[in-house]
Structure 1
Amino acid sequence: MTRLLLVNPNTNTRTTALMAAIAQRAAPAGVTVEGTTAATGAPLLDDPAKLAEGALAVRALVGATDLSAYAGVVVAAFGDPGLAESRAATAVPLTGIAEAAMAEAAALGRFVIVTTTGLLKPSIDARVAEYGHGARHAGTFLTPGDAATLMTDPARLEAALEETARRALVETGADAIIIGGGPLAAVAEALRPRFAVPIIEPVPAAVRLALSRAITPA
């Protein structure tokens, strides 16, 4: 049995359960995904300060966890907080959901990112450049209004993301759309059949990339 550990860098255990369930559905037979939640920080990483707290929480969690039974670790927040730093602390491969989603989208051509966290746009765009996808990034598009408020109304959240994704396609003619956010995993899953271009779901993308990097635990 191959085990992956999904690390939620925010403190919302319901979000952890949702993302772990989606990751498990994306995993092939014989792979088990287990979720764990940051012990400190914020329930939603929607600004740079909270993203930085999430990075610290990921580093602390990875450093304090015996990872010898896992073939890989998924960092499940779209800013990939703590990913680079935590890689130095363990031999177990770490994969970020933004890293994985951007790689899949870039392989398809030009892509857009649709997300709710406007204050994190500079961080997201910096990740695009860091991962080498700047030439294929057609833009980061934001839903209107406050992200935290939008997250409290699932129907409104889904409608806002769909509307923004359709606007992004009209403006850019992109070949793929990333729904940028770990807590947005369920909406990404729901939107996929409604679009003619691929909707890239970051959590399943991370499972696929993590398994391609997986090691055999001792």
Structure 2
Amino acid sequence: MRQLLVINPNTSTSVSALLHTHVQQAAGLHVAVRTATARFGSPYIADEASYAVAAHAALDAWAHALASELRPPDAVLIGCFGDPGLMALRESSPVPVTGLAEAAFIEAARHGRYAIVTGGARWGPMLQRLAQALGQAQQLAGIHTVAPTGAELAVNPVAARALLAQACRDASRQLGVEAVILGGAGLAGMAALVQAEVPIPVIDSVVAGAHWALRSAPIPPLREVPGFDVAWKNLSAEMTTLGVTPDHRSG
């Protein structure tokens, strides 16, 4: 049975539970999903500062999970639509790593040009920068953010459904795209609810992440064993253990 580690890089256990439920449901019974929650940081990632801390928290949660489990995972999914720590974790992991955003970008691009709908205005430029870094700038036609954050939307699903369905229709009409991504861990399951009200495919970023875990990853791992190529100071014991000793630094 394949083992998938899902890392929630914020400290909200309710988001972790939502991620676990929807990833496991989408992955199926032949994949064992383990979910790790950030041990520090913000309960919701909504700006540059919380995003920066979340990257560290994702690395720490990964190191802690490796130290806590007898069997390492076969793949790792960063459960945030923004993928904090993606490149660093990919560099450090012997197994494939992706995030909700990258997985959703790949799935949406199969339909053609796409748009993103998500909660929180500050995510707009952050996601644009991520799309550029992942080579998706040409495929991404635009980003439509609604005022409430994903956490706020999750509190009132009925109101969220109406708001998000309208945002998806607006993105479809205004941008002329072939698909729209409904992005955010807190919005897991919402795409299926609004799909009947939207004339183009609506991609659930959490489901896209689970589907990615079921197929061969497009980017092979860079190393044979987990580890960081630096000697840490004043970080967690788990991260320090995976770092190099000062005598073995290469630079």
Fold agreement, TM-score > 0.5: yes
1:61-100 equivalence runs, <5 A: 61-66=61-66, 68-100=71-103
1:1-218 equivalence runs, <5 A: 1-66=1-66, 68-145=71-148, 149-213=152-216
1:39 aligned partner, one-letter code:
R
Deviation at residue 109 of structure 1 after TM alignment:
0.4
5+ long unaligned stretches in structure 1: none
| Structure 2 Cα separation of the partners of residues 189 and 47 of structure 1 | 27
> Highest relative contact order (Cα 8 Å, sep 6+), 1 or 2?
1
Contact 1:144 1:160 in 2 (8 A): no
Deviation at residue 147 of structure 1 after TM alignment:
5.7
Question: How many residue pairs are counted as aligned between the two chains?
Answer: 215
Q: Larger radius of gyration, structure 1 or 2?
A: 2
| Structure 2 Cα separation of the partners of residues 32 and 205 of structure 1 | 17
| Structure 2 Cα separation of the partners of residues 194 and 34 of structure 1 | 33
Residue by residue over 1:28-83, the C-alpha shift from the partner in whole angstroms, topping out at 9 and shown as x without a partner, is 34112121111111111111111111111001111232174311111010110011
What CA RMSD, in Å, does the superposition of the two structures yield over aligned residues?
Answer: 1.9
Superposition TM-score, scaled by structure 1 size: 0.91
2:88 aligned partner, one-letter code:
E
SS at match of 2:32: strand
1:13 aligned partner, one-letter code:
T
CA distance 1:91–1:147, change in 2 (3 Å): closer
Deviation at residue 208 of structure 1 after TM alignment:
1.8
What is the aligned-residue identity percentage? 34
1:42 aligned partner, one-letter code:
S
Deviation at residue 188 of structure 1 after TM alignment:
2.2
Residue by residue over 1:158-197, the C-alpha shift from the partner in whole angstroms, topping out at 9 and shown as x without a partner, is 2211111111111012100101111111222322333231
Superposition TM-score, scaled by structure 2 size: 0.80
SS at match of 1:210: helix
Query: Greater helix share, 1 or 2?
Result: 1
1:44 aligned partner, one-letter code:
Y
Contact 1:75 1:97 in 2 (8 A): yes
2:197 aligned partner, one-letter code:
R
Contact 2:182 2:202 in 1 (8 A): yes
SS at match of 2:59: helix
Contact 1:72 1:213 in 2 (8 A): no
Contact 2:3 2:32 in 1 (8 A): yes
Deviation at residue 151 of structure 1 after TM alignment:
4.1
5+ long unaligned stretches in structure 2: 221-251
2:13 aligned partner, one-letter code:
T
| Structure 2 Cα separation of the partners of residues 24 and 65 of structure 1 | 18
Single out whichever of 139-148 and 3-12 deviates more from structure 2: 139-148
